[in-house]
Structure 1
Amino acid sequence: MAESTLDPAKSIIIAQVKQADASHRMDLSSSLLRSKHFNAPHKVVYLGNIATALLAQLPHPETPEMKEAPGFNEQRWTLVTQSGDITVQITSRSYWAFGLFNSGYLNVITLTGPIHERARIVFDTMSALGHKPWEFSHPKSAQKWLSRLEGAQSTKENERNWLAHRSRAKADLQEQIERLKQRCDVVFAELEDEDLDGLRNRIDHDLHMAKEALHDENAPGLERALARVEADLIAIDPRSTPIAIDAPAEILASPDEILNVKEPTNTDEMGRIVPVEPTPEEVPFVDLTSSSHEEE
């Protein structure tokens, strides 16, 4: 159900800002976002709890760039950043009381990239916020503002959009748990003759903890539980351990051949070249006994 409601290329969701202060600065020389400790020429940026939480969920973010610099209103801005295949744009706007209060601001979040990554970022952001970002402090003013937005949507549609991302992410995580469980079943079926009851109980417990964490929308807890399962599987499943690479085979070659070695055409031919040592039958034997008698 969530899959059909999500755009395959782009997500646009709007969030109510709860808190904002002078926590960041914009580097005037590069337009990059900096911390409040940045001392070179700058402008103050009121980033807000929504943008701060979302940026913290990006796995490999580039330094955000302010595409629209704050002016007299330090809470009116647009930033853009990249994290892997995901492009993130966040725009801060006032929608009530001329932006005199934090409750009068919202963030328009635009995510572009693979749908499963977008869904996961939204899911993690919701978990980090601890409140429902689609619930506006001033619903009527928010509805009026959203109706003027490009691709106008209602506050109810915005809520469904947030929840669709959450549902997609939870489905992906549930599938991840099931795949790991199936892998465990295969491994234990192959090792049924061994006494692994204690290990199986521990793995079952961690899989249960992963499901509980998913129910609580605690992604970090879920990942920790799955990591413990992975570690146990690596310990008992030879296919999960790094494959031992045998030492290179010795390629026997005569002294003349050493000077005319052809480059190996594949890895099977690569190895250490060792000159051939002559066998006892090939060792030239000189009878010095007769020579000594002749000299006498």
Structure 2
Amino acid sequence: SSTPIMDKKPGFDEQTWTISCRAGDVLLTIDSYSYWGFGLLTRCYANTITMEGPLGERARVVFDLVASLSHKPWEFSRRGKFNSKISNITENQECWQAHIERAREDLGELIEATLLEKGDCEDIEIARNALADDNAPAVLRALSRIEADSIDVEVEDVSPDGMVLQIDEDAVPFVDLSSEEE
């Protein structure tokens, strides 16, 4: 993941800016600008998010973003102005929802693959509930616990008292680094 770069810095109108960064194979650019208002009385701003990269990774970014916001990013305060100046609201909403659905499907497939490989357990149900709550990090934590629990440890490889290193004192050379001229 790269450090975000301010491609266009805010000027007098501090809501007009562009920032970009890269996370893995996904390039993310955010443009912020006014879509309704008059000079100093500008009221409505749009943040256009552009992502380039593999669909699965873009879908996961959208899924996490929407889950963290307090409102749906495809809803606007001045729908008519947005529709006429920026984009078609219906197409915009469908694009967001298609990415969210793709991320849900990918996480659901991950849960089912883990179920088939490791068997049913309490953490599978926790992962399903987390997915129902649109909480991808909780899904991944539950699946990680299943993976960690399935790692076999050979009993003879484990010492009940911990590891103790035995040193033969005769095998360690003694070197006196002090001088007699003190």
Normalised-by-shorter TM-score class: 0.7 to 0.9
For the 8 Å contact 2:37–2:43, the answer to whether it is kept is no
Corresponding residue SS for 1:75: coil
Residue 135, structure 1, aligned to residue 75, structure 2: yes
Give 1:232's aligned residue.
149
Identity of matched residues, %:
45
Q: How does 1:272-287 map to 2 (within 5 A)?
A: none
Q: How does 1:137-286 map to 2 (within 5 A)?
A: 137-146=77-86, 153-185=87-119, 204-235=121-152
Aligned counterparts of 1:130 and 1:235: Cα–Cα separation in 2 = 42
User: Relative to 1, partners in 2 of residues 1:134 and 1:223: Cα closer, same or farther, differing over 3 Å?
Assistant: same
Aligned counterparts of 2:100 and 2:9: Cα–Cα separation in 1 = 31
Aligned counterparts of 2:105 and 2:48: Cα–Cα separation in 1 = 25
User: Relative to 1, partners in 2 of residues 1:234 and 1:139: Cα closer, same or farther, differing over 3 Å?
Assistant: same
For the 8 Å contact 2:19–2:29, the answer to whether it is kept is yes
Q: How does 1:95-106 map to 2 (within 5 A)?
A: 95-98=35-38, 104-106=44-46
Aligned counterparts of 2:21 and 2:55: Cα–Cα separation in 1 = 17
Aligned counterparts of 1:63 and 1:164: Cα–Cα separation in 2 = 28
> Amino acid of the residue matched to residue 161 of structure 1?
C
Paired residue total: 154
Deviations 1:47-105 (A, max 9, x none): xxxxxxxxxxxxx2x11112212111111011111111111111001111247578501
Give 1:114's aligned residue.
54
- 1:72 aligned to 12, 22, 28, which one? 12
Residue 92, structure 1, aligned to residue 32, structure 2: yes
Note the aligned Cα RMSD (angstroms): 1.9
For the 8 Å contact 1:98–1:104, the answer to whether it is kept is no
Corresponding residue SS for 1:234: coil
> Amino acid of the residue matched to residue 52 of structure 2?
T
Aligned counterparts of 1:214 and 1:98: Cα–Cα separation in 2 = 43
For the 8 Å contact 1:103–1:137, the answer to whether it is kept is no
Aligned counterparts of 1:102 and 1:184: Cα–Cα separation in 2 = 56
> Amino acid of the residue matched to residue 4 of structure 2?
P
User: Relative to 1, partners in 2 of residues 1:207 and 1:138: Cα closer, same or farther, differing over 3 Å?
Assistant: same
Aligned counterparts of 1:224 and 1:99: Cα–Cα separation in 2 = 48
1:130, CA displacement in angstroms?
2.8
Q: Which 4+ stretches in 1 moved above 6 angstroms? A: none
Q: What TM-score comes out, normalization by structure 2 length?
A: 0.79
* 5+ residue gaps, structure 2: 155-182
Give 1:42's aligned residue.
none
Aligned counterparts of 1:121 and 1:169: Cα–Cα separation in 2 = 9
* 5+ residue gaps, structure 1: 1-59, 147-152, 186-202, 239-296
